[in-house]
Amino acid sequence: MSESPEDIAQRKMQFLFALRSRGVTDSNVLNAMERVDRGHFIRGTFAERAYDDMPLPIACGQTISQPSVVGLMTQALRLTGRDKVLEVGTGSGYQAAILSLLARRVYTVDRHRRLVADANATFRQLDLTNITALTVDGSFGLPDQAPFDRILVTAAAEDPPGPLLAQLKPGGIMVVPVGQSDAVQHLIRVTRTETGFDYDELLPVRFVPLVEGLGRDT
Ligand code: SAH
């Protein structure tokens, strides 16, 4: 059954309300999230839950993050519109699509070739031309394109990975969930200063782990 324009408007309002009520208040981030339809990034039976504020399963045993967490992470990056961004953990490509509307250039990497292929197809379909998705072990960053103004890690590491810290420009910001995969993790914002790194703890989160090496499908 196809939705009426009223249904779509109502659903969009509820989606934005859920984001705001969970602390996503930056109007640029809210606008980008209004423009990127999460339904394009979820295939199969879960597609009808695309506008619920919950994580959902995607291919390769991974998950598309909860929209409010996507919003809070994007907001924490303090994008300027001129940034070169690295995302580690392409997954469905949803987060990268939102970043692409708020940054100059987005590189996104995943260890599963299949996820990268599906995400690239969606980026082409939506005409998002400033995103490059690559199959790479992102624990080592993307040295060819470094340094970056912003780095977003969407899988949990035990500590902020050293190679990623090294690929951050002075003044640059990295947002990363830190903690054991089966315990409470915290979203951390790392700011590179002229002399070192500042750390802020933002909120408790739950992400799939950052795993070294490429996926078995590759
Ligand atoms: N940002 C995604 C959700 C990410 S789920 C979205 O918007 O849908 C976490 C992703 O991190 C998974 O797809 C997983 O394959 C990937 N991942 C885990 N370890 C990785 C690594 N070392 N390098 C690259 N990607 C990794």
Ligand 1 atom closest to the CA of 115, numbered from 1 = 13
- Catalytic residue selected from 2, 21, 27, 65: 65
- Catalytic residue check, 4: no
- State the Cα–Cα distance between residues 16 and 20, nearest whole angstrom: 6
- Local confidence band at 183 (pLDDT 50, 70, 90 cut-offs): confident
Ligand 1 atom closest to the CA of 91, numbered from 1 = 13
Q: CB of 33 within 8 A of CB of 22?
A: no
Predicted confidence (pLDDT) at residue 17 exceeds the cutoff of 70: yes
The residue whose CA is least distant from atom 17 of ligand 1 is: 89
Tell me whether residue 40 is in a domain.
Answer: yes
pLDDT tens sequence across 27-69: 999 999 999 999 999 988 888 899 999 999 999 999 999 999 9
Range of the domain at 119: 5-205
Distance 9 CA to ligand 1 centre (A): 31
Give the residues across from 177 on adjacent strands.
Answer: 187
Tell me whether residue 33 is in a domain.
Answer: yes
The pLDDT value recorded for residue 4 is 85
Tell me whether residue 185 is in a domain.
Answer: yes
Omega before 147 cis (within 30°)? yes
Pocket test for ligand 1, best of 210, 214, 217, 218 (most atoms within 8 A of CB): 210
Tell me whether residue 64 is in a domain.
Answer: yes
pTM for this entry? 0.96
Average pLDDT over residues 108-123: 97
Average pLDDT over residues 117-138: 97
Pocket test for ligand 1, best of 33, 88, 185, 205 (most atoms within 8 A of CB): 88
DSSP strand pairing (168-178 vs 185-192): antiparallel
What CATH number has the domain bearing residue 190? Answer: 3.40.50.150
The total number of structural domains that make up the chain = 1
Tell me whether residue 212 is in a domain.
Answer: no
